[in-house]
C-alpha cells in the first residue's frame, strides 16, 4: 500500500481541516489542484492570503468588511434606530439578500451554550449594550436561530434590553424547526420579519 507522504500528505491534511470536508473530499480537492496550472494555483493561494489580510470584523457591528466599519454601519440612509441581532456574520448576508430589513446589525459571534463553556461575556453582548446607551435605539430585533441555544440567547437579551425602555422583538418562527437563517429562503425570512413578536 502506498500512503500519502510529504507535501501531498500535508496538503490533504490542511484541506481536510475545513468544515464539511472529509478525507475523501480532501483527496479529491488535492488531486484537482495538482492537475491545475501553476498560475491558477498561485492565483487561488494569493486570493486566500489577500482575503485573510483584508477582511476583518466591523468595529461597530462585527459583520465582515474591508474597512474599519462595514457598508451598513456607514450607510447614511439606513435606519439607525433599529438593531437586528444575529449569531454569525453570514446571517447578515442572508438577511440582506431578502431585502426586507433596512436598519443596522449586531453580530454576537455565537450563542449562549454552557455545554461549550460559552457565557454572555464570550459573546459580543457587552458591546451591544454599549451601543444601546446613546438613546437613539428604539427597537432591537433578535434574529438568533430558532434552536434551543438561539432561543435562550434571545430570552437572555430580552431580559437585559426591556428594562432600558427599548422594544425587544423576536423573529416569528416561520423558520423551519431547527433551521438556520443561513439556509432559509428569502420569502421565509421576509415572513419571519413581518411576524416578529415582542419579547
Which chain residues interact with Zn ion by CB under 5 A? 58, 60-61, 63, 70, 73
Helix (H, G, I), strand (E, B) or coil at 25: helix
Q: What is the dihedral of CA 10, 13, 14, 19, to 10 degrees?
A: 170
Please name the residues in contact with 145: beta carbons below 8 A apart, sequence gap of 6 or more.
87, 111, 175, 179, 180, 181
CB-based contacts of 71: which residues, under 8 Å, 6+ apart? 65
C-alpha cell at 35: 492537475
d(CA 143, CA 92): 10
153 is an interface residue for other proteins by CB under 8 A: yes
Region binding other proteins by CB under 8 A among candidate stretches 52-60, 63-71, 113-121, 163-171: 113-121
Q: Which of 1, 3, 38, 115 binds other proteins (CB under 8 A)?
A: 115
Q: Does 195 bind other proteins (CB under 8 A)?
A: no
Three-state DSSP class for residue 98: helix
How are beta strands 197-198 and 167-170 bridged, if at all? antiparallel
| Residue 148 interface partner, choices Zn ion, other proteins, none, CB cut-off 5-8 Å depending on type | other proteins
- The residue (of 156 and 193) whose beta carbon lies closer to other proteins is 156
Question: Which among 98-106, 126-134, 148-156, 162-170 is the span making contact with other proteins, rule CB under 8 A?
Answer: 148-156
61 binds, among other proteins, Zn ion, none (CB under 5 to 8 A by kind): Zn ion
Residues between 159 and 188 with contacts to other proteins, criterion CB under 8 A? 159, 177-178
CA distances from 50 to 18, 54, 100 (A): 18, 6, 32
Q: Which is nearer to other proteins, 80 or 199 (CB)?
A: 199
Q: Which is nearer to other proteins, 17 or 35 (CB)?
A: 17
Q: Which of 149, 161, 181, 192 binds other proteins (CB under 8 A)?
A: 149
- The residues of the shown chain that bind other proteins, judged by CB under 8 A, are 112-115, 119, 147-149, 151-153, 155-156, 159, 177-178
Amino acid at each position: 500500500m502506498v500512503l500519502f507522504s510529504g507535501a501531498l500528505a500535508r496538503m490533504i491534511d490542511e484541506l481536510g481541516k475545513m468544515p464539511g470536508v472529509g478525507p475523501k473530499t480532501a483527496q479529491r480537492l488535492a488531486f484537482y489542484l495538482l492537475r491545475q496550472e501553476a498560475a491558477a494555483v498561485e492565483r487561488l493561494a494569493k486570493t486566500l492570503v489577500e482575503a485573510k489580510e483584508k477582511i476583518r470584523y466591523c468595529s461597530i457591528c462585527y459583520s465582515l468588511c474591508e474597512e474599519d466599519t462595514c457598508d451598513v454601519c456607514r450607510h447614511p440612509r439606513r435606519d439607525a434606530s433599529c438593531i437586528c441581532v444575529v449569531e454569525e456574520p453570514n446571517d447578515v448576508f442572508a438577511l440582506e439578500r431578502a431585502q426586507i430589513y433596512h436598519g443596522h446589525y449586531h453580530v454576537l459571534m455565537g450563542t449562549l451554550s454552557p455545554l461549550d463553556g460559552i457565557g454572555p461575556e464570550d459573546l459580543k453582548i457587552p458591546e451591544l449594550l454599549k451601543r444601546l446607551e446613546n438613546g437613539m435605539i428604539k427597537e432591537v430585533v433578535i434574529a438568533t436561530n430558532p434552536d434551543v441555544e438561539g432561543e435562550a440567547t434571545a430570552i437572555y437579551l430580552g431580559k437585559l434590553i426591556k428594562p432600558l425602555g427599548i422594544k425587544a422583538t423576536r423573529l416569528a418562527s416561520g423558520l423551519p424547526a431547527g433551521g438556520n437563517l443561513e439556509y432559509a429562503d428569502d420569502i421565509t425570512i421576509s415572513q419571519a420579519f413581518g411576524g416578529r413578536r415582542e419579547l
